[in-house]
Amino acid sequence: MSNIIHRSKTRKVQVGDVSIGGADEIIIQSMTTTKTHDVEATVAEIKRLEEAGCQIVRVACPKEEDALAISEIKKQINIPLVVDIHFDYKLALLAVEGGADKIRINPGNIGRREKVEAVVEACKNKGIPIRIGVNAGSLEKHIIKKYGYPTADGMVESALHHIKILEDLDFHDIIVSMKASDVNLAIEAYTKAAQAFDYPLHLGITESGTLFAGTVKSAAGLGAIISQGMGNTMRISLSADPVEEIKVAKELLKSYGLASNAPTLIACPTCGRIEIDLISIANEVEEYISTIKAPIKVAVLGCAVNGPGEAREADIGIAGARGEGLLFMHGKTVRKVPEETMVDELKKEIDILAEKHYEK
């Protein structure tokens, strides 16, 4: 493993009431799939994302009617709102005016200097950051000409080009993404970016695909980056309901011990010793704990042969058996429970543990 520890050394940038950078924490974000000017549908989707654990949400802003909807959306949601601008500085100004907590725009794409200055000035006045989004698929022509095809060095050069425009205007509340759909290219680009500057990194693998394939691809790429101490915020991009992006992001952070308030499910893979319908029980328990905000480890095991001992790290768990299961804590049996009420008993114990955590 590389020894790059970039995450906590980055600049701390404020996005509404959420800080990105300067800490060993990765903020989860997602993007709405609705037409932004359809305020009702957009707010409804954002509410579902909030409920699932999304900490920052981004909306697309291709038209003036979208930019004009920002203030109304802001009034109805509880998490910071990022507005994604392609290059139209007028839309950027309207979004900032409407109360955007961050905008995503590449200053090098805005055009004339006065336009860039107007956007930077507006962001400075409102104290909101700018995310520079470098994408392997849309690098500047001069960079493609120099490198021949999208490379990590070319992506870093593009990022530095946009960063310099902002720094020259004394603007430093910058977040940078280095997205590529090729996993190896993304890993190399983020690694080189972390060596080149200390602005927080927004992680993502673009166009990663459908729920299953995109989850594996994102976990492979982002996992490698996160494990090397890089990344301050991330969006898992899936061709699926965006709530699924949040679920995947949370699970990925849990795998690296970076989710301080989320329960973990330990479930055995099942084998020939299995005595209960473990798969449906595991799914039911996973669903049950998904809204709990406490770092509890819950185990569900298919049998009691190696059961409790196999999941010693679990705070609470059940090991199934025909007729009667075992309820255990930290590898030790607490009591026997009838098969019919086994899952309900487990849920009750989970609630007690969560309650104890909330009282702390």
Q: Is 307 in the site for ligand SF4 (CB under 6 A)?
A: yes
CB of 204 or CB of 307, closer to ligand SF4: 307
Q: Is 303 in the site for ligand SF4 (CB under 6 A)?
A: yes
CB of 148 or CB of 272, closer to ligand SF4: 272
> Shortest CA distance to 263 belongs to which of 186, 196, 347, 195?
347
Q: Is 325 in the site for ligand SF4 (CB under 6 A)?
A: no
Applying CB under 6 A, among 261, 305, 312, 351 the residue interacting with ligand SF4 is 305
Question: Which residue positions form the known binding site?
Answer: 268, 271, 303, 310
Q: Is 306 in the site for ligand SF4 (CB under 6 A)?
A: yes
Question: Which residue positions form the known binding site for [4Fe-4S] cluster?
Answer: 268, 271, 303, 310
Kindly state the smallest distance separating residue 297's Cβ from ligand SF4, in Å.
16
Considering only 36-44, 94-102, 225-233, 264-272, which stretch makes contact with ligand SF4 by CB under 6 A? Answer: 264-272
Applying CB under 6 A, among 273, 293, 312, 356 the residue interacting with ligand SF4 is 273
Tokens in use for 81?
Answer: 């709102």
Q: Is 269 in the site for ligand SF4 (CB under 6 A)?
A: yes
Based on DSSP, count helices (H) and strands (E) in the chain, helices before strands: 12, 15
Q: Which residue has the tokens 């903020």?
A: 27
Kindly state the smallest distance separating residue 322's Cβ from ligand SF4, in Å.
12
Tokens in use for 257?
Answer: 């011990």
Residues interacting with ligand SF4, by CB under 6 A?
268-271, 273-274, 301-303, 305-307, 310
